[in-house]
């Protein structure tokens, strides 16, 4: 409803804008209720609206552009990217970068819980390997757990994995403890493919 903000700022209604521009009310309503994109409208319609709202065509179109929204990759790609980041640096630099950027909190704010917990598990695991105390900011998050166990995709598609419940249990038991506590099965973080 970004265009509606312009109307409020100009103290004008959709009906008044329709009369000023000589554009049918239904068209104005669809544009301002985001049923139709301003960028797909004719140049004449955009020009008339911009002129009536005392702004430029460019400013009007920019006003409707959605700000950057992060693209969420599938979890397997996310995990692979994280392993590559560790491989490209070292454990301490990786931990420092994650904590400085507060990436875990960013994932929580976006409600990307698997990514948040996977990242926290990775930081905690690398901290244990390097005798670094756990960062206390995430103590409450450490009490969380995913509703279902997440197995690596390569295991899920393996025929023998589907047919062998004992193999499923073995993979789960062999999982790194920092990951397992969040219901994430991860056995190897150094294997970069």
* Mean pLDDT of the residues in the chain: 89
Q: Which of helix, strand or coil describes residue 184? A: strand
Residues, the chain = 193
Task: Please report the pLDDT score of residue 191 as a whole number.
Answer: 77
Assign 193 a pLDDT band (cuts: 50, 70, 90): low
pLDDT tier, 67 (very low <50, low <70, confident <90, very high otherwise): low
Residues 14-55: tens digit of each pLDDT: 999 999 999 999 999 988 888 888 878 899 999 999 999 888
CA dihedral 148, 151, 152, 154 (to 10 degrees): -120
| Residues ≥6 apart with Cβ < 8 Å to 17 | 7, 23, 28, 49, 52, 53
Residue 1's pLDDT band, with cuts at 50, 70 and 90, is very low
CATH of domain 2-64: 1.10.260.40
Nearest to 1 by CA among 39, 40, 42, 30: 30
Rounded distance between C-alpha atoms, residue 122 and residue 103, angstroms: 12
Taking the C-alpha atoms of residue 33 and residue 179, their distance in angstroms, rounded to an integer, is: 45
Model confidence over 144-170: pLDDT tens digits? 999 999 988 877 766 566 667 777 788
pLDDT > 90: what percent of the chain? 60
Tally Cβ neighbours within 10 Å of residue 79: 22
- The CA distance from 66 to 80, in Å, is 29
pLDDT in tens, 173-185: 999 999 999 999 9
Q: Which residues of the chain form CATH 1.10.260.40?
A: 2-64
Greater confidence (107 vs 34) lies with 107
Count the helix, strand and coil residues of the chain and give each as a percent rounded to the nearest 5.
65, 0, 35
Q: How far is the CA of 175 from the CAs of 33, 65, 150, in angstroms?
A: 50, 44, 11
Tell me, what's the pLDDT at 77? 92
d(CA 126, CA 154): 23
């Amino acid at each position: 409803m970004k265009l509606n903000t312009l109307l409020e700022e100009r103290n004008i209604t959709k009906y008044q804008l329709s009369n000023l521009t000589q554009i049918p009310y239904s068209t104005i309503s669809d544009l301002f209720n985001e049923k139709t994109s301003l960028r797909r409208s004719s140049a004449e319609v955009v020009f008339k609206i911009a002129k009536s709202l005392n702004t430029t065509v460019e400013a009007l179109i920019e006003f409707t552009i959605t700000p950057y929204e992060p693209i969420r990759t599938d979890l397997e790609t996310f995990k692979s990217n994280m392993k590559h980041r560790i491989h490209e640096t070292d454990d301490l630099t990786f931990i420092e970068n994650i904590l400085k950027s507060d990436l875990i909190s960013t994932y929580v704010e976006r409600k990307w819980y698997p990514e948040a917990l996977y990242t926290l598990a990775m930081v905690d695991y690398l901290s244990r390997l390097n005798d670094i105390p756990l960062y206390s900011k995430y103590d409450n998050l450490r009490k969380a757990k995913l509703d279902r166990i997440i197995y690596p995709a390569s295991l899920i598609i393996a025929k023998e994995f589907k047919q062998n419940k004992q193999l499923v249990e073995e993979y789960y038991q062999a999982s790194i403890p920092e990951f397992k506590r969040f219901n994430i099965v991860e056995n190897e973080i150094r294997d970069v493919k």
